[in-house]
């Protein structure tokens, strides 16, 4: 068991260092940590995330000790159970789950509309488990198992191809043209008072241009305003006047001070109606560890420079519907979009259009903006909704309900995109049943652990 744990841990560390390496750069560049300390923090994160593959390896080793090679066929259940745990325990960090590897493989990823990203993880794990088992299993049973898996995969891909080709969701609902503004404001300039006027006037000009090109709904990125909305009367009024001028709703990100006792500080998204009034305020519910709060702050004394630079945010309480005419949209702020259940909750509250506002300028030219965009794209397939994404430095874009990228920007370019989306009301199977694939995987894993006893030597 120890050998299995160590091998699983090493595998996990290699995988996650290669996946979330950019967190070290972020902590060094913007968190005030020395590069060596930032690298240690990144390694600690990778080490924590690697615990889940290590547990997977231990459980699978235990099952193989009990049932022999056939226990390899339980691999998909064990993998999904531990992957789901990684996405939910201690706040969760569901970054790049196995199923997301298929987000650009449209015939396969359609399965997410039935069982979500964890269902797609299950499919990928099944194929790999059967391949591993086939290497150990002699005779005709191996051929039958490979054939059955191949047939199942062909049926799944055939159905997925038909679903994409049918494309009925792209003809349903009310169409609307959405303007996505990517101001490309450097992270070190965002809160510098010397750049505030330029940033604000840039977004005002981009809004007017998007509306001239036909935008019916304009979306600014996360924390787009170079001031705290509600605390800057002159700038607040200028933004309200802009909404009245262009006569379209405007969704924008801004920090929010709430003067309660004790005071609260939120990462929020505000929506102004065409009359300039605030019609909705969404407060980010799932905060970024080390970016918006410090987990285990008492024990992590080596990140004290980061603690001193960070004003911790408060958590919002629930999704909020954003009225756009007679229809409803919802938004996710930055990292929230990687959590399937948060987006599903919004759809079940009545959201007909998914939006997400983010500032990926923290990530520089790393792979993180690309990972983040593809993680967001999975939500569109799961929920059968268009997804519109406005990112400060990119990637901004629109993804249709089948995961097809309608339009996307590059990173670190200033661009205003105007694209057609649709308000949809049909709910997918996944929207109705949720993460039953993960729940079934957990139950099957527990049952196998209880019922399969280690063989006596």
For the stretch 261-283, pLDDT in tens is 888 889 999 999 999 999 999 99
Tell me: do 134 and 217 sit in the same domain: no
**Is the domain of 352 the same as that of 208?**
yes
Q: What is the pLDDT of residue 122?
A: 97
pLDDT of residue 306: 46
Task: Clarify whether residues 221 and 290 are in a common domain.
Answer: yes
Judgement on whether residues 158 and 181 belong to the same structural domain of the protein: no
Rounded to 5°, angle at Cα 132 from 96 and 148:
95
Which pTM value belongs to this model? 0.92
| Number of compact structural domains in the chain | 2
What are the start-end ranges of the E strands in 156-303? Answer: 174-182, 217-219, 250-258, 264-272, 278-283
Q: Where is pLDDT greater, at 26 or 76?
A: 76
Residues 446 and 409 in one domain: no
pLDDT of amino acid 315: 86
Residue 430 covered by a domain: no
Same-domain pairing of 162 and 179:
no
State yes or no: pLDDT of 128 exceeds 80. Answer: yes
418 within some domain: yes
Respond yes or no: is residue 231 known to be catalytic: no
pLDDT at 320: 96
For residue 44, being part of any structural domain is answered with yes
User: 307 falls in which pLDDT band (50, 70, 90)?
Assistant: very low
Catalytic residue among 190, 334, 352, 374: 334
Please compute, for residue 27, the number of CA atoms within 13 A of its CA located in the half-sphere on the CB side: 28
Return d(Cα 330, Cα 351) in angstroms, integer. 6
Mean pLDDT lowest among 106-115, 192-201, 295-304 = 295-304
Residue 301 clears pLDDT 60, i.e. is over it: no
**164 & 303 share domain:** no
Provide mean pLDDT across the span 201-226: 97
Residue 447, in any domain of the structure: yes
Which pLDDT belongs to residue 312? 77
Select which of 222, 336, 352, 374 is catalytic. 222
Nearest-CA neighbor of 319 among 288, 343, 339, 289? 343
What is the tens place of the pLDDT at every residue in 177-190? Answer: 999 999 999 888 88
More confident residue, 291 or 113: 113
Answer yes or no: is pLDDT of 291 > 70: no
Residue 298 confidence (pLDDT) above 80: no
Pairing assessment for the beta strands 415-423 and 405-408 based on DSSP bridges: unpaired
Residue 211 lies in a domain: yes
**Domain identity same for 231 and 370:** yes
Q: State the pLDDT at residue 294.
A: 59
Q: Where are the beta strands (DSSP E) in 334-447?
A: 353-358, 387-391, 397-399, 405-408, 415-423
Residue 129 has pLDDT above 80, yes or no: yes
Active site includes 190? no
CATH code where residue 392 lies = 3.60.110.10
Shared-domain flag, residues 441 and 368: no
**Pair (184, 93) in one structural domain:** no
> Does residue 456 lie in a domain region?
no
The catalytic residue among 83, 190, 284, 336 is 284
150 and 233 inside one domain: no
| pLDDT the model gives residue 362 | 86
Share of the chain above pLDDT 70, in %: 94
Task: Kindly tell me the sign of the dihedral angle through the C-alpha atoms of 319, 200, 28, 13.
Answer: positive
Cα separation, 225 vs 115, whole angstroms: 38
* Alpha-carbon distance values, 123 to 95, 99, 189, 403 (Å): 18, 8, 45, 18
Active site (annotated) includes residue 284? yes
Phi-psi region of 318 (alpha: psi -120 to 50; beta: other; left: phi over 0): beta
Per-residue model confidence (pLDDT) at position 288: 78
- For residue 308, what pLDDT is reported? 46
Asked if the model's pLDDT at residue 173 lies above 90, the reply is yes
In which domain, by residue range, is 324 found? 173-425
The reply to whether 457 falls in a domain is no
Task: Assess whether 282 and 303 both reside in one domain.
Answer: yes
């Amino acid at each position: 068991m120890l050998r299995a744990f160590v091998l699983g841990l090493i595998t996990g560390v290699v995988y996650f260092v290669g996946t979330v390496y950019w967190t070290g750069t972020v902590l060094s560049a913007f968190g005030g940590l020395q590069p060596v300390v930032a690298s240690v923090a990144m390694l600690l994160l990778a080490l924590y995330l690697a615990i889940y593959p290590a547990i997977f390896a231990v459980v699978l080793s235990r099952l193989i000790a009990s049932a022999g090679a056939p226990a390899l066929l339980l691999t998909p259940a064990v993998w999904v159970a531990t992957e789901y745990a990684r996405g939910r325990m201690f706040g969760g960090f569901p970054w790049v789950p196995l199923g997301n590897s298929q987000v650009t493989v449209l015939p396969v990823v359609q399965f997410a509309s039935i069982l979500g990203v964890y269902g797609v993880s299950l499919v990928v794990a099944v194929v790999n488990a059967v391949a591993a088992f086939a290497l150990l299993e002699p005779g005709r049973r191996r051929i039958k198992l490979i054939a059955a898996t191949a047939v199942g995969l062909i049926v799944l891909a055939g159905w997925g191809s038909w679903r994409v080709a049918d494309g009925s969701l792209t003809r349903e609902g009310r169409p609307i043209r959405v303007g996505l503004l990517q101001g490309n404001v450097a992270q070190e300039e965002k809160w510098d008072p010397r750049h505030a006027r330029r940033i604000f006037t840039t977004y005002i000009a981009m809004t007017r241009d998007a509306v001239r090109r036909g935008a019916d709904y304009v979306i600014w990125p996360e924390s787009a305003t170079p001031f705290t909305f509600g605390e800057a009367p002159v700038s607040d009024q200028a933004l309200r006047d802009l909404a009245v001028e262009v006569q379209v709703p405007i969704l924008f990100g801004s920090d929010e001070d709430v003067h309660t006792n004790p005071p609260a500080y939120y990462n929020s998204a505000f929506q102004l109606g065409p009359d300039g009034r605030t019609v909705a305020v969404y407060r980010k519910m799932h905060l970024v560890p080390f970016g918006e709060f410090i987990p285990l702050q008492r024990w992590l004394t080596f990140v004290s420079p980061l603690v001193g630079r960070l004003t911790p945010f408060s958590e919002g309480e629930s999704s909020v519907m954003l009225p756009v005419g007679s229809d409803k949209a919802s938004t996710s702020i930055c990292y929230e979009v990687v959590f399937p259940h948060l987006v599903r909750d919004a759809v079940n509250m009545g959201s007909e259009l998914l939006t997400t506002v983010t500032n990926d300028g923290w990530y520089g030219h790393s792979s993180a903006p690309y990972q983040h965009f593809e993680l967001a794209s999975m939500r569109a397939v799961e929920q059968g909704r268009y997804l519109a994404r406005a990112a400060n430095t990119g990637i901004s874009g629109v993804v249709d309900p089948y995961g097809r990228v309608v339009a996307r920007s590059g990173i670190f370019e200033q661009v205003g995109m105007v694209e057609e989306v649709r308000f949809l009301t049909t709910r997918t199977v996944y929207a109705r049943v949720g993460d039953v694939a993960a729940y079934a995987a957990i139950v099957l894993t527990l049952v196998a652990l209880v019922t399969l006893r280690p063989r006596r030597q």
